[in-house]
Structure 1
């Protein structure tokens, strides 16, 4: 985690230097990843993030039901409380059908603020519950070498799990893919340097604390998502944490989808400039606003159809492949090297006109190659995990 945090901070800082071409203050702005260099990989990963967030929301909503079921049964067994996450995934998709009609980032600030507040809420609750669980036993269940090899885990399976874990960690530091879109004046470079330093430090602190205390409390039986464990108590506080996760994901889905929405809509307007279906905006006065007020919603038919299709497709995929950790690991692996490392490094080298074989050039190239290897092994581990999960689901 510390290595990923350091790499992410360094490459995010490099990317901040590339927001403007030429002069970092007066140069031409790049408002999106596509404007800066290349956005095809970004678009794929943004869609993948929407799928990952949809799966996660369904899993956490299912956890609320299971926690309450176990509590009502006196904590005897959670087997009878198991159910399918698909209805909850679909419910999340229905909510996104509505939220996806928010036109752009500028109108999304309130949802983003709620999501940020919720992330702190469930992080503090989760950490507190893990510490309480660890304190109740008084011993560390985990080991320095991780999951023990035995009847349930073979050496090969452990290797694949290690590789998959690298993808999960990479996904946790995937904000680079929207960094250019969310940079803001004044002095974007200085603002984002401070923001990168603060965000990486805070998130890494929470990741380390939650991961270490969770593994100390549960050991080899640690679930993929600790907030879905019925072993944490009190159950009502665990419910609050899971509700906070769902609310956070409602906003995160939009933050990561808006760049893709904007990209497709801008391309459609460029390709079909005379199409009323694509370009016509109809002002609809919102309930409660006066006739001369400014509370209007700009309705666009293409936006309605395209974004609805996007949400439906991402929801259907989430229902078909509801394996959160494996999907997240694969997404993290695919996006880590190209978006978090390769493009920022190459953009910085081009922007600063670094001489070939200079010390800085060599160090950046070595960093890029090392992260490329990590991406390959993480992707392989995540694919192996998805295959195993598909076999298990067919067998059951």
Structure 2
């Protein structure tokens, strides 16, 4: 599976090649040891893939997260998350090949690496966690996109009518619009393989992240100083219980920003060798984590410095910023464009999984297996319509849209996604695969240290999940589904 257009594989070797016309030496130049086209990725391309895949909507909640933790704990927690992510990325890089690190069998995806190194029930558990995470991401992206669309309307309203006007808007309309667009896009075959999607995603994510950073810096300059406190939002502004839950939720928000291990094996599969892919990937992980963390620190800290304890949950839609309104519109439009494509890229593996399972289960059903040829435009290739694909994908989008309308809480959902995905996918599976791959003896110093790291991250994830769920419960006390305006 790929994230934001992560690349996962190359065309297979054409077995009809005449070996007499293509000597072995010539073939070895064109193809790798597994018969796939020669990989050409380098340290720089791998780093670029990681950075563009990572920097996304998670950056928008970092100012709020730093605000809950304060000037001391906030940057320290973010730095510790970056260290853990870097370290487990290096463990994961060693699991790309089975056996020998240079000539061993390649694992093309995260799931293949789990299957090769752990097998059995662990593969199923990993699969369930991944697919559950994808459903959560679809809900989170629907919420984030609708909030950004609503923010464009509100910023224009503030510009015309003044900041005193409440400029209320309902998110439901925008969620429905986003859902309709996703239903249409979900019927495009192999949407995640469209080559320019990664470029668009990268441009959009850097656009809105950079605007958020720039506006934060300008606000700090206008205020002539940094806002905020050493310990974050003080008890009094919130209750002691709220302070605890919000602190935990902030951990989930930061974890979400660093949850990208699932794409690392696929990126490693684009890297050429020699040197070994693991060596290149370790360097790429260090470079990309350093760049990402520096960017996150700037965005989160500048957002907190600009607004202090009032830092909004979503930096570009919480309306700490009002002007220039057109720049806010550009940033929020970039978020929407990015999330429209990202939603499909994330959901394609889930769509494919259910469709393959249904085809195996009911292979004789025309509803599930029959493809209908539909000519949409003269002179264009006909479109292949499948009844089950149309119904199932549309139903999925409708379901995620309805859930989003019932729980339109950006921060809580982001925190919960971070909590649910970080420990198993970023820590547990990489650690267990590495232990198995390197045959590390049980109760050895290395084994104990790795298990302690895993347990510590599990405790943090449980705390983050509890904080996010508590946030949802508190929000539901004042939120009325389909009626509350913002």
Fold match by TM threshold 0.5 = yes
Alpha-carbon displacement from aligned partner over 1:104-147 (angstroms, at most 9, x marks no partner): 36623322321111000111111111111110110211112111
1:55 corresponds in structure 2 to: 143
Flag structure 2 segments of 5+ consecutive residues without an equivalent. Answer: 1-77, 115-122
Aligned with residue 244 of structure 2, among 156, 159, 164: 159
**Map 1:243-392 → 2, pairs under 5 A:** 243-282=333-372, 284=374, 287=377, 289=379, 295=381, 297-392=383-478
Shift in Å at residue 330 of structure 1? 1.0
The secondary structure found in structure 2 opposite 1:39 is: helix
Provide, for residues 197-240 of structure 1, a one-character-per-residue CA deviation record: whole Å limited to 9, x for no partner: 34323322221111111111111111101101333221110110
CA-CA distance at 1:251 after TM superposition: 1.9
Q: 1:89 to 1:163 in 2, by over 3 A?
A: same
Whole-angstrom distance in 2 between the partners of 1:276 and 1:182? 38
Instruction: Tell me whether 1:208 sits opposite 2:297 in the alignment.
Output: yes
Cα shift at 1:345? 0.8
Q: Which moved more, 1:13-22 or 1:332-341?
A: 13-22
- Rounded Cα–Cα distance in structure 2 between residues aligned with 1:106 and 1:217: 37
* 1:16 equivalent in structure 2: 93
Contact 1:354 1:361 in 2 (8 A): yes
Q: Counterparts of 1:13 and 1:298 in 2: how far apart (Å)?
A: 42
CA contact (8 A) 1:33 1:42 kept: no
Tell me the secondary structure at the aligned position of residue 334 of structure 1.
helix
> What's 1:67 paired with?
155
Shift of 1:191: 5.8
For the residues of structure 2 that align with 1:323 and 1:247, how far apart are their CA atoms? Answer: 20
How many Å apart are 1:266 and its aligned residue?
2.6
Residues of 1 paired with 2:314 and 2:192: CA distance? 32
Could you tell me which residue of structure 1 aligns to residue 227 of structure 2? 141
TM-score by length of 1: 0.91
CA offsets, 1:312-344, max 9 Å, x none?
A: 111110011001101111111111111111111
- The 3 A distance-change label for structure 1 pair 347 and 158 is same
* In 1, Cα distance between equivalents of 2:344 and 2:465: 25
Alpha-carbon distance, 1:375 to partner: 0.6
For 1:242 and 1:387, how far apart are their aligned partners in 2?
28
CA-based RMSD of the aligned residues comes to: 2.3
Asked if the contact 2:423/2:454 (under 8 Å) is kept, the reply is yes
Identify the residue that residue 84 of structure 2 maps to in structure 1.
Answer: 7
SS in 1 for 2:302: helix
* DSSP-derived class of the 1:121 partner: helix
Partner of 2:217: 131
Measured at CA, do residues 196 and 69 of structure 1 come closer, stay the same or move farther in structure 2, by a change above 3 Å? same
Q: For the residues of structure 2 that align with 1:76 and 1:178, how far apart are their CA atoms?
A: 46
Relative distance call for 1:105 and 1:15 in structure 2 (3 A) is farther
Give TM-score scaled by structure 2 length.
Answer: 0.75
Task: Report the alpha carbon displacement of residue 159 of structure 1 after superposing the two structures with TM.
Answer: 1.1
How big is the shift at 1:31?
A: 4.2
Residue 44 of structure 1 corresponds to 132
Contact between 1:166 and 1:378, CA under 8 Å: does it hold in 2? Answer: yes
2:25 maps to none
Matches of 1:186 and 1:138 in 2, distance apart?
47
Q: Report SS of the residue matched to 1:228.
A: coil
Query: How far did residue 262 of structure 1 move?
Result: 2.2
- Deviation per residue, 1:268-325 (Å, 9 max, x gap): 23333444433334555663646xxxx5544333222221121111111001100110
Instruction: Find the aligned partners of 2:108 and 2:364 in 1 and give their Cα distance.
Output: 25
Deviation (angstroms), 1:361: 1.6
Which secondary structure does the structure 2 equivalent of 1:299 belong to?
strand
Task: Sort the Cα spacing of 1:13 and 1:90 in 2 relative to 1 into closer, same or farther, 3 A.
Answer: farther
**Equivalent residues of 2:312, 2:320 under 8 A apart:** no
Tell me, which stretches of 5 or more residues in structure 1 are unaligned?
A: none
CA distance change for structure 1 residues 29 and 299 in 2, over 3 Å: closer, same or farther? farther
Aligned residues: 389
- Contact 1:104 1:262 (8 Å CA) reproduced: no
Corresponding position: 1:226 with 2:315: yes
8 Å CA contact retained: 2:311, 2:320: no
Which residue does 2:10 correspond to in 1?
none
